[in-house]
C-alpha cells in the first residue's frame, strides 16, 4: 500500500489512502450510471484498468499536495463504500470538496460523516480558509449533505459543466473557517 494520505476515523468509517485492491470496487460502484452521471470526472462505462490508473494518479497528486483523496471504508468490516477528496489550492488556502458513495450505501449518513471529518482536517490540519463544493441540479441529496456539514448555498453557475453532451447547472456551496469555528461546539 502506498501511504499518500492520512487515515481519518469516525464512529463508523475509516478514511484511508487508496490501494490497488480498491480498483474492482471503484469500477463496480462508480461505474453505476447513477453515480457517474452526477460526477464530473467519472467515466461511463468504467472500463477495465481505468480504476488502477486513477488510483496511481491519486497517489501522485496526493504526494504533490495538489489533492487529498481518500477511500471511504466501513470500520466494522473494512468494506470499500466510496471516495471523498479535495482539490487543494494552497496559495488561496481553499479546497474543492467532492465525494461519491456507492448505491448500496446510500441514505445511511456515510457521506455526511465522511465530509465532516475531511472538512475538520482541512481547517484544523491543513489550515485552509475556505472549502467549496458543487453539485448538479439533478442531485439534491448531495445538497442536503453539504448543508448538514455546515456549507451554505452560494448560488448557481448556469450551464457551467458539460456532461455527456449536455450543459449542467452547478449549484455551489461553501464554508469558511470562521463558520466552522463558530459551529465547533456542535461538531
Q: How far apart are CA 59 and CA 158, in angstroms?
A: 33
User: 107 falls in which pLDDT band (50, 70, 90)?
Assistant: very high
CB atoms within 10 A of CB 101: 24
pLDDT at residue 187 above 50? no
Mean pLDDT of 74-79: 96
- Domains of the chain, by residue range, sit at 8-132
Reported as a single tens digit per residue, the pLDDT across 112-171 is 999 999 999 999 999 999 999 999 998 999 999 999 999 999 999 999 989 888 999 999
pTM: 0.92
The residue ranking higher by pLDDT, 101 or 187, is 101
DSSP per-residue string spanning 117-184: HHHHHHHHTS--SEEEEEEETT-HHHHHHHHHTT-EEEEEEEEEEEETTEEEEEEEEEEEHHHHHHHG
Cβ proximity of 126 and 91 under 8 Å: no
Instruction: Say which CATH class 8-132 falls into.
Output: alpha beta
Q: Which three cell numbers stand for residue 178?
A: 470562521
Hunting for cell 481518500 — which residue is that? 70
Amino acid at each position: 500500500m502506498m501511504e499518500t494520505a492520512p487515515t481519518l476515523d469516525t464512529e463508523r468509517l475509516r478514511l484511508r489512502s487508496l490501494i490497488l485492491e480498491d480498483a474492482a470496487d471503484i469500477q463496480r460502484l462508480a461505474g453505476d450510471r447513477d453515480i457517474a452521471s452526477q460526477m464530473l470526472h467519472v467515466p461511463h462505462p468504467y472500463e477495465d484498468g481505468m480504476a488502477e490508473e486513477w488510483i496511481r494518479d491519486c497517489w501522485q497528486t496526493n504526494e504533490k499536495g495538489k489533492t487529498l483523496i481518500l477511500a471511504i471504508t466501513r470500520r466494522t468490516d473494512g468494506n470499500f463504500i466510496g471516495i471523498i477528496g479535495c482539490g487543494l489550492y494552497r496559495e488561496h488556502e481553499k479546497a474543492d470538496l467532492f465525494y461519491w458513495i456507492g448505491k448500496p450505501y446510500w441514505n445511511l449518513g456515510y457521506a455526511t460523516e465522511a465530509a465532516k471529518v475531511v472538512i475538520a482536517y482541512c481547517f484544523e490540519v491543513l489550515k485552509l480558509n475556505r472549502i467549496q463544493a458543487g453539485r448538479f441540479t439533478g442531485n439534491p441529496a448531495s445538497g442536503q449533505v453539504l448543508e448538514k456539514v455546515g456549507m451554505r448555498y452560494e448560488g448557481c453557475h448556469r450551464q457551467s459543466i458539460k456532461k455527456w453532451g449536455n450543459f449542467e447547472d452547478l449549484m455551489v456551496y461553501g464554508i469558511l473557517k470562521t463558520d466552522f469555528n463558530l459551529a465547533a461546539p456542535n461538531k
